[in-house]
Amino acid sequence: MNRASRSADAVAVAGGGALLGSAFAHWVRRGPGHSLRGHELVDAIVGLGDTLPGLTGARLTVLWYLVPASGALTWIVIALTGAASRTARVFAVVTVVVTAATVAAFVRMTSVSSLGAGAWLALGGAALVAIATFALARESSDA
């Protein structure tokens, strides 16, 4: 196991941690919901029946909880297969899509300027997972 491989794993693990951590951060930094953290905010939104066109409360719940779940699964995938595996790359693509869709839903409900640390943490985490599996892991396999 070379240094590049270890770096890729470490970056992916960090990305997974960021995705997990977003569940406990504020996804909205001002306006309604700014005092609620991650899952509390989603629970409140769904509990009040707020929806977006084409996005029911149930779908928003599933979508949002997939973000921290992706973080936990990232750790498992890295532990079992490493960042350089095809499994990890496929998983990274799914993570990026899910996270982007969730953040887009929040942008639709509030605005980009109202996004809180949780949303940015999730986006950053997804980006790290993608970088680790596609860029850093490719470098280690070429060595």
Partner 1 sequence: MSELREQLERLAARGAPGRGADAVVAAAIDAADRGDAWVDQPTRGARSMDDDLEPIDLEDVVVGRPARRGRKPFRALAAAGLAALVGVGVLAVSALTGGGASSAEEAVRKLADAIDAEDPLAAADVLAPSEVRSLRSTLDEASRRAAELELVETASSPLAGIDLSVDDLELDGESLADGFTRVYLRGAIRGSTDVTDFSELVQRAIDDPSGSSDAVDLRDLSPAGIDPFVVAVREDGRWYVSAAYTVLEYIREANDAGPADYGSAVASAAELGAESPEAAARAMVDALAAEDWTRAFSLLPPDEIPVYDYRSVFAELLADTETDFGVDEWSATAAIDGDEALLTVHGSGRFGDGERWELTDECLRMTYTYEGYVDEEFPEYSQDPYTDTTGICLSGSGAFPYSFFFDATGDDSGSVTVRAVRQDGRWFLSPVGTTLDKLDQWVGNFDERSLYTMLDLPEELDAEGTVTVGEPISAEANAAWLMYTYQFAGTEGQRIVGQFATEQSRSETFGSYGDVRIVHADGRTFDEGWSIDGYPVTLPETGEYLIVVQTFAPGPYTLTIWDEADAPAGVVVYGSDAGTIDENGNYCYQPAPGEEVCELVAADPGGGTTVTSIAVPDE
* Interface positions with partner 1 (CB under 8 A): 1-2, 5, 13, 16, 20, 23, 30-36, 39-50, 61, 65, 68-69, 71-76, 78-82, 85, 110-111, 114, 140-141, 143
Is the CA virtual torsion 103, 104, 107, 108 positive or negative? negative
Minimum distance from residue 72 beta carbon to partner 1 (Å): 4
Measured CA to CA, the distance from residue 93 to residue 107 in angstroms comes to 21
Minimum distance from residue 13 beta carbon to partner 1 (Å): 7
- The radius of gyration of the chain's CA atoms, rounded to the nearest angstrom, is 16
Minimum distance from residue 124 beta carbon to partner 1 (Å): 18
Minimum distance from residue 127 beta carbon to partner 1 (Å): 19
Q: Which is nearer to partner 1, 36 or 96 (CB)?
A: 36
Cα 121 from chain centroid (whole Å): 8
Minimum distance from residue 93 beta carbon to partner 1 (Å): 19
DSSP string of 78-89?
A: HHHH-TTSHHHH
Q: Which is nearer to partner 1, 10 or 127 (CB)?
A: 10
Find out whether 16 and 76 touch, Cβ atoms under 8 Å. no
Q: Which is nearer to partner 1, 60 or 130 (CB)?
A: 60
- Three-state SS for 28? strand
Find out whether 16 and 124 touch, Cβ atoms under 8 Å. no
Find out whether 84 and 5 touch, Cβ atoms under 8 Å. yes
Q: Which is nearer to partner 1, 75 or 120 (CB)?
A: 75
